[in-house]
């Protein structure tokens, strides 16, 4: 049996452990989550693409899409193969409403965990240095 929550937790930890400042990571996760909830997965991908000069945004998008490279998730819903282009991949996912809503729910959980991880790292007194 696949633990979807564990997949979200691990992805969130990887997202927050990347380069960038703790506060920036928390802010971006909060904003991306807001866009996801208001405008859906495609809107969130466009939002992150808009920030393509921001290494944190690039990392977040790569990790969120990469979540679906996990073969265990394929048993829950069929999504098209990842080809590196998040927008094109998501257009393929959107052909199946169940798959699209599944992606949205997992991304919502992952971004929520990323917010908490970033905030915890910031509150722990760890220096707000890139990469930490």
In three state form, how does the secondary structure of the chain look?
CCCHHHHHHHHHHHHHCCCCCHHHHHHHHHHHHHHHHHHHHHHHHHHHHHCCCCHHHHHHHHHHHHHHHCHHHHHCCCCCCCCCCHHHHHHHHCCCHHHHHHHHHHHHHHHHHHHHHHHHHHHCCCCCCCCC
Structural domain range at position 31: 4-123
**Crossing angle, helix 4-16 and helix 55-66, to 10 degrees?**
160
Q: Is residue 91 part of a domain?
A: yes
Give the pLDDT confidence score for residue 30 in this predicted structure: 96
Give the pLDDT confidence score for residue 48 in this predicted structure: 94
Q: What is the CATH number of the domain that holds 101?
A: 1.10.520
Going residue by residue through the chain, which has 132 residues, state the pLDDT in tens, using 9 for 90 and above. Answer: 678 999 999 999 999 998 778 889 999 999 999 999 999 999 999 999 998 788 899 999 999 998 988 877 777 777 777 776 888 889 889 999 999 999 999 999 999 999 999 998 877 655 444 444
Tally of domains in the chain: 1
Q: Is residue 130 part of a domain?
A: no
Give the pLDDT confidence score for residue 31 in this predicted structure: 97
Q: Is residue 30 part of a domain?
A: yes
Q: Is residue 11 part of a domain?
A: yes
Q: Is residue 44 part of a domain?
A: yes
Q: Is residue 56 part of a domain?
A: yes
Q: Is residue 128 part of a domain?
A: no
């Amino acid at each position: 049996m696949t633990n979807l929550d564990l997949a979200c937790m691990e992805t969130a930890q990887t997202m927050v452990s990347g380069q960038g400042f703790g506060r920036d990571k928390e802010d971006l996760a909060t904003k991306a989550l807001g866009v996801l909830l208001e405008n859906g997965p495609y809107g969130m991908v466009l939002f992150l693409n808009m920030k393509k000069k921001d290494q944190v945004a690039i990392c977040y998008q790569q990790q969120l899409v990469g979540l679906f490279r996990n073969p265990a998730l394929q048993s829950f819903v069929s999504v098209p193969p990842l080809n590196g282009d998040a927008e094109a991949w998501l257009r393929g996912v959107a052909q199946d409403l169940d798959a699209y809503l599944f992606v949205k729910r997992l991304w919502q959980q992952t971004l929520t965990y990323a917010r908490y991880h970033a905030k915890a790292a910031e509150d722990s007194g760890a220096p707000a240095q890139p990469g930490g």
